[in-house]
Amino acid sequence: MTLGVMIAISSVVYVLEGLIPFPVPGGKWGFSNFLVLYLSFFSGITNGIVLAISKSLLGSILSGTIFTPGFFMGFLGSLASAIAQGAIAKFNIFGLTGISILGMLVNNVVQFLVGSFLIGSSAIYVFLPLVIFLGTFSALANAYLANQTEKIFESMEER
Amino acid sequence: MDESNDVKKARRDFILFILVTSCALITFFVSKFYVPNVNNVTNTVVVRIAGDSAYEFSQPGDWQIIDSQNEYVTTLHYDGNNIWVTDSDCPDKICEKMGKVGQGGSIICVPNKMIIEFKKKETQETVETASTTDVQTW
């Protein structure tokens, strides 16, 4: 699967996951990050960063939210998460699940930092614990999906 | 060797999962059941856009919020105790879904960089500083 196909899949998931209800107003489940996790873990930090930037840009163009405050929160969160996941993977301490959880933490903390800077208030942090709690389950799902993607590639290479 | 490393990683992943979920849950419940000290809050509503105070009012009724570019942002209803958004210009209508908010609470609208909250009372220290400054100016 080329990087282009991964960008397309992630962008479509980015748009579609916005339709799935999330308990926190304005929040998203973050399933579009599974290929960012996959690339950061298996292919290296650069490809992860390229995918994080591309899917945020393309996904927000498709959903009509480009250059809105929400876009900057998502874009910088996803970018920071790709860098963190790629860097942590190099230390060989955590598996795919642990790296996915740490990536989710970085993603959400950066998003809330950007959000609080944009609105000029720290009141937004009241949602952070719930977002992180729900995010751990998205992180588990993303780790599972990234692992399945790797299995698909392995079986394709064997053929 | 590799398998043992994988087991170690899996154990660390599990500990991390438990640690993150429990910390998030504890913080969530502490903040959920924390009752804000309403004695420190006035009944004046403050609307801040991008950190700057745009509106302040304490009279019940419908309030239309217009930004610095003279564009309509939102309509608020204040009944003297609670405030809520009855109409908003953004497509998500997230602030409308946030419902009624009383003293100590806040309504956050990220697309409009807006926060609606009750004004805090000036602390004794602030009042004393202000009065000292006033005397000196006078």
The tens digit of pLDDT for each residue in B84-105 reads 999 988 777 778 888 888 887 8
The class of domain A3-158 in CATH terms is mainly alpha
Residue B93 and residue B28 share a domain:
no
The tens digit of pLDDT for each residue in A3-62 reads 899 999 999 999 999 888 888 877 889 999 999 999 999 999 999 999 999 999 999 999
Reported residue count of chain A is: 159
In chain A, which residues have their Cβ closer than 8 Å to the Cβ of B115? 119-121, 123
More confident call, A99 vs A3:
A99
**pLDDT confidence band for A120 (50 / 70 / 90):** confident
Residue B71 and residue B11 share a domain:
no
Asked whether residue B16 is assigned to any structural domain, the reply reads yes
**Could you tell me if A98 lies within 8 Å of chain B, comparing CB atoms?**
yes
Q: Name the residue of chain A whose CA is nearest to B113's CA.
A: A119
Residue B55 and residue B116 share a domain:
yes
The whole domain housing B111 covers: 40-120
More confident call, B50 vs A108:
A108
In chain B, which residues have their Cβ closer than 8 Å to the Cβ of A119? 48, 50-51, 108-110, 113-115
Q: Do A25 and B97 touch (CB under 8 A)?
A: yes
- Tell me the mean pLDDT in the region B63-71: 89
Average pLDDT, chain B: 82
Nearest to B56 by CA among B120, B119, B126: B119
CATH no. for residue B114? 2.60.320.10
Residue B54 and residue B30 share a domain:
no
Task: Please say whether the beta carbons of B60 and B78 come within 8 A.
Answer: yes
Question: pTM for this structure?
Answer: 0.85
Burial of B119 (0-12, 13-18, 19+ CB in 10 A): middle
Q: Is the pLDDT of residue B43 over 80?
A: yes
Q: B108 is written with which tokens? A: 């956050």
Nearest to B108 by CA among B121, B118, B94: B94
Q: Cα–Cα distance between A122 and B37 in angstroms, integer?
A: 17
Asked whether residue B58 is assigned to any structural domain, the reply reads yes
Residue B74 and residue B18 share a domain:
no
Asked whether residue B100 is assigned to any structural domain, the reply reads yes
Predicted-complex ipTM score: 0.91
**Residue B64 falls in which region: left (phi positive, over 0), alpha (psi -120 to 50) or beta:** beta
Which pLDDT does position A121 carry in this prediction? 86
List chain A domain ranges: 3-158
What letter would DSSP give residue B98? T
Which pLDDT does position A91 carry in this prediction? 94
Q: Is the pLDDT of residue B133 over 60?
A: no
More confident call, B123 vs A94:
A94
Q: B4 is written with which tokens? A: 């043992």
Reported residue count of chain B is: 138
Which pLDDT does position B137 carry in this prediction? 34
Residue B21 and residue B47 share a domain:
no
